[in-house]
Amino acid sequence: MPNHAMYPGSFDPITNGHVDVIDRAAQMYEKVTIVIAKNSRKTPLFNEQERLDMATQALAHLPNVFVTLHQGLVVDFAQQNGCNVIVRGLRAVTDFEYEFQIALMNRKLEPTITTIFMMPHEQYTYLNSSIIRELGRYGQDITAFVPPVVAEYMKHKFSSQSA
């Protein structure tokens, strides 16, 4: 029976959609590790430590959820840390093709690790970190879309950039 899941992502920043998926994964698995991974295809707004701090604070209400950093393949982290499930959030059909390819490759690399796909609540299906960064850059109110700690980090980030 799977008891340790991981949810990898860049979380730049973590959104309420991410938190929704993590809340439900935390109900399904004994332990959930959020892995803030370095994505070689992205230039993040927040550095790794900021993303770690935001996620840790946003998820503090979940006693079986832990947040860590990792550079390298997600499947390697899973093997090294006893994670037998990889959780991935799917917002729309457009996410599926990419996530499906990654899941198949992970299964090829390590057949004992299963990927599950979870949809966020419908109110978050249009939400992604890129949209949040863009709204924040233009001073829009993002409090309905992100945990309070993220709203504060965003406010500080963009006020310091315009100074």
Active site residues: 18, 42, 91, 129
Whether residue 63 has a cis bond before it, omega within 30° of 0 = no
Contacts of 96 (CB under 8 A, 6+ apart): 90, 117
Burial 78-111 (b: 16+ CB within 10 A, else e): beeeebbbbbbbbbeeebeeebeebbeebeeebe
C-beta of residue 79 within 8 angstroms of C-beta of residue 91: no
